[in-house]
Amino acid sequence: MSRLLPHPGLSVLLVVMWMVMVGDLTFGTLFLGLVLGFAIPLFTAPWWPGRPKVRYLSALGYCGLVVWDIIIANFEVAAIILFKPNRDLRPAWLAIPLELTSPEAITVFAGTISLTPGTVSSDISACGKYLLVHALHAPDPASEIAKVKARYEARLMRIFV
């Protein structure tokens, strides 16, 4: 199982992406998708050693949460851009201490922070234990850090084990 299908999640993703890209539901498409989903993980396996295990069901729930947060945060940032004068704006650099250790998990965490409007992840510390995030409007940086950690990092800790 693990030698023939080293990365089942990637295989499923490749098949689905292939079907979506071709855009029709025929046996030929599915067959070619299955070939790709089978072969690509097999041949790229040497390039991702020691990757973390992923709980896919929780990951789906996490995607839903992030999409919802993106929608809410879009309205918040739109309100800031339209109605808040520059002198009332409190941009801040946040140094978020990381409890996640695997590069994959930190990448997803940083990507989430960048996608939710109002925060952009800018850099990681040389020791890999802090994430530098720029917030558009954070009058209270400490509570902002606590919010991001509780909402996203705690969930990612349970997804990447």
Question: Which residue shows structure tokens 């941009």?
Answer: 91
Regarding 52 and contact with another protein (CB under 8 A), the answer is no
Between the alpha carbon of residue 133 and those of residues 84, 112, 125, the distances in Å are: 21, 11, 11
**Packed helices 56-83 and 103-115: angle between N→C axes, nearest 10 degrees:** 30
Please name the residues in contact with 41: beta carbons below 8 A apart, sequence gap of 6 or more. Answer: 5, 6, 7, 10, 11, 14
Instruction: Say how far residue 100 (Cα) sits from the centre of its chain.
Output: 13
Shortest separation between residue 56's beta carbon and another protein, angstroms: 16
How many residues in the shown chain lie near another protein by CB under 8 A?
Answer: 42
Shortest separation between residue 136's beta carbon and another protein, angstroms: 5
Alpha-carbon distance of 147 to 20, in angstroms, equals 35
Which token pair is 130?
């802090």
Given the complex with another protein, which of 17 and 35 has the nearer CB atom? Answer: 17
- Considering only 45, 65, 132, 157, the residue that binds another protein (CB under 8 A) is 132
Shortest separation between residue 106's beta carbon and another protein, angstroms: 9
Given the complex with another protein, which of 13 and 45 has the nearer CB atom? Answer: 13
- In the complex, which residues of this chain contact another protein (CB under 8 A)? 17, 19-21, 23, 70-71, 74, 77-78, 81-82, 86, 89-93, 95, 97, 103, 110-111, 113-115, 117-118, 120-130, 132, 134, 136
